[in-house]
Chain A
Amino acid sequence: MFRFIVRRLLQMVVTFFGATFVVYALMFAYVDDPYQALVGDRPITDAQRAALDARFHLDDGFFQQYWHYIRGLLTGDLGETITGRSIGDLLAQAWPVTIRLALLSIVIAAVVAVGAGVLSGIRRGGAFDTVTLVLTLIVLAMPIVVLAPLAQLVLGIQLGWFPPTAGRDAGLYELLLPALVLGSLVIATELRVTRTSVAENLRADYVRTARAKGLAPKRVIGVHVLRNSLIPVITLIGVDIGVLMSGAIVTEGVFNIPGVGFNLFRGIRAEDGPLVVGFVSVLIIVFLVINLIVDLVYAALDPRIRYE
């Protein structure tokens, strides 16, 4: 296990530098005149250029600038938005509601996907299975830009089952509809993976042994099959976090939830470059760390992984 952890950590360091470098290069490629890009269309004097140099290190080479950016990221200094607000403070204010939303949607998605996945895995080809497969196909085809406004329109405004918008101190009930929308992005894949692995495990030797011992079907499926079927589902959570982050940008924008995604959404609309790069970088770090944890948990649960 120790060797696996070390290898995985080294891999994570490489990915961290690679990913931040790619984002940095994407952001700052093709800028003709960074000074002009900062101040807009006004002509600028040499003194102003010197002041900008001192503040943003614009006269340094590309790699030196990348180094300043990495140092800022690692020390938690994310700089300021173009309107002069601290990006770190913005982020600190935005996190709580986003975390609540993300946790709620992960729980909803996991409960629905595992429940329905087990049921359709047991009766493959049955009516329930067919209906779920068609439903997951439809959900897969709905991009978040379609799903979020339509859910707001139908469930929030026309039927009035849920509040159509949520604020900063949104409670569980206000967050329920956005969480449902967000969760549905990952439900389909989670459900399909659960279904396939349940169906496979039902034919495994240890299930036959459990049945032969005379265990009740509930215990065979609820304990023996389920525990082994959930392992591949756990690895999906790592990928899902990335999907949820992307989805949160649109969902929080549609439902007016002032979280991380909403701030990023507004930053994009206002063409606030520093804010976008700061938020995106932090999100990538969160993504990498969660994936690291998921991989370690996976290795702890499934010994086959660490001996590859």
Chain B
Amino acid sequence: MSDLGELSRTAGKPRSLAGDAWLDLRTRKVFWIAAVLVVVVLVMAIWPSLFTSADPRDCLLARKNAGPTGGAIFGFDFQGCDVYAKTVFGARDSILVAVSATLISGVIGLLVGLAAGYFGGWLDALLSRFIDVMLGIPFLLAAIVLAQRLSSDPQSNGVLAVTVTLGVLGWTTAARVMRSAVLTSKNQDYVAAARMLGAGPGRLMFRHILPNSISPFIVVLTVLLGINIAGEATLSYLGVGLKGDAVSWGIAIAEAGPFVRTAAGPLVWPSVFLAATVLAFIMLGDAVRDAFDPKLR
């Protein structure tokens, strides 16, 4: 008897898949490094004034390419703007665009994947062929065409255009992953049980199937966040992304490019921040995927 009591105490209450994953996740160093980086960047995006008191748009040509001073630890660029302040404030638009675009992609991918996987038949065939067609177009090429179309309004700063571009074009992988996860979980016994109890398609999909097929989808979205940050920078670099009064890492890299022989700092610092953020999201996605995959445990 005492053995059994011991066993039940150590086993504790039954854990969910997510609970298991969390127990595994919190022992991983990679996860914590990535999580800290992500939190720092998010805080930087929400309250940039916590990190710097300087204004990124306060530029004086007299300070052109000047070296680091007290507040401006990264020096000044060719227009005399504070590079550190620009880099800190650059986080906001980059993150804003990436998060909103990922949400758009997530909603489209979720609905398309769920519908294709659950209803099957001609709807699945149609949606799957459409995804094949979308994957037949290299992502950046389609993004250039659409972003150029949407950002033609000279008044806007391009935030909406880039968000819509990345969001509308980036959902395909997420939808595919969602579809295959739904296909495996819709034939499980608990779904059949719920159906026999009289649950309708809506309840079956969102209460029973979705919670059990969401984890691979979340992993894809985490990596997509990193991809979208890089995507915004690339579009801004090419001149069809953010512009006007927007401050972003992509714009900073594009502006610093031609002056790299005289001043390297304005190019290097936004690049480092951008790469570190993308790296953090990729590592986070990797760690979460490993934690959710029972085969690797």
Contact = CB atoms under 8 A, between A and B. Distances in A.
Do chains A and B stick together as partners? yes
Interface string A122-163: 000000000000000110111111100110110001100000
A144 B238 CA distance: 12
Between A153, A271, A288, the greatest number of chain B beta carbons within 10 A of the residue's beta carbon is seen for A153
A250 B237 contact: yes
Contacts of B260: 149, 152-153, 157
Query: What interface size band does chain B fall in?
Result: 35 or more
Contact of B141 (A11, A150, A245, A269): A245
Contacts, number: 135
A258 to B, nearest CB: 17
Given A18-B130, A30-B149, A141-B226, A153 B138 contact: no
A69 B63 CA distance: 52
B75 interface: no
Interface in B236-280: 237-240, 250, 253-254, 256-257, 260-261, 264, 267-268, 271, 274-276, 278-279
Contact of A145 (B133, B137, B253): B253
Interface string B221-241: 000001000100110011110
B134 interface: yes
A14 B149 contact: no
Interface stretch (A20-28, A44-52, A74-82, A210-218): A20-28
B138 A246 contact: yes
Given A142-B275, A268-B144, A149 B257 contact: yes
B58 interface: no
Nearest to B276: A141
Contacts of B146: 26
Contact of A250 (B145, B238, B256): B238
A252 to B, nearest CB: 12
A280 B134 contact: no
A144 B138 CA distance: 15
Interface residues of A, number: 50
Given A141-B275, A149-B260, A149-B267, A268 B253 contact: no
A162 B141 CA distance: 29
Interface string A268-285: 110101001100100110
B204 interface: no
Given A141-B278, A145-B234, A153 B137 contact: no
Contacts of B267: 149-150, 153
Contact of A284 (B132, B137, B152, B256): B137
Contacts of A66: none
Nearest to B281: A141
Nearest to B272: A146
Given A145-B234, A157-B260, A284-B136, A22 B253 contact: no
A15 interface: yes
Given A246-B138, A246-B141, A284-B138, A143 B234 contact: yes
B282 A141 contact: yes
Contact of B253 (A141, A149, A158, A265): A149
Contacts of A276: 144-145, 148
Interface in A247-306: 249-250, 253-254, 264-265, 268-269, 271, 273, 276-277, 280, 283-284, 287-288, 291
A19 interface: yes
B144 A143 contact: no
A245 B144 CA distance: 12
Given A143-B230, A153-B260, A22 B148 contact: no
Interface in A159-203: none
A283 B138 contact: yes
B274 to A, nearest CB: 6
Nearest to A20: B137
Nearest to A265: B238
A157 B283 CA distance: 32
Given A18-B133, A143-B278, A254 B257 contact: yes
B137 A23 contact: yes
B46 interface: no
B18 interface: no
B279 A23 contact: no
A151 to B, nearest CB: 11
B275 A143 contact: yes
25 contacts: A15-B136, A18-B129, A18-B130, A27-B145, A30-B149, A141-B226, A141-B278, A142-B278, A143-B274, A145-B250, A145-B274, A146-B233, A146-B253, A149-B257, A149-B260, A152-B260, A153-B264, A153-B267, A157-B260, A246-B234, A254-B257, A277-B145, A280-B145, A284-B138, A287-B137
Given A157-B260, A284-B141, 9 more contacts: A18-B130, A22-B134, A27-B149, A137-B279, A246-B141, A249-B144, A265-B238, A283-B138, A284-B137
Interface of B: 129-130, 132-134, 136-142, 144-146, 148-150, 152, 226, 230, 233-234, 237-240, 250, 253-254, 256-257, 260-261, 264, 267-268, 271, 274-276, 278-279, 282-283
A-B residue pairs, 4 tightest by C-beta: A18-B133, A141-B279, A246-B140, A143-B230
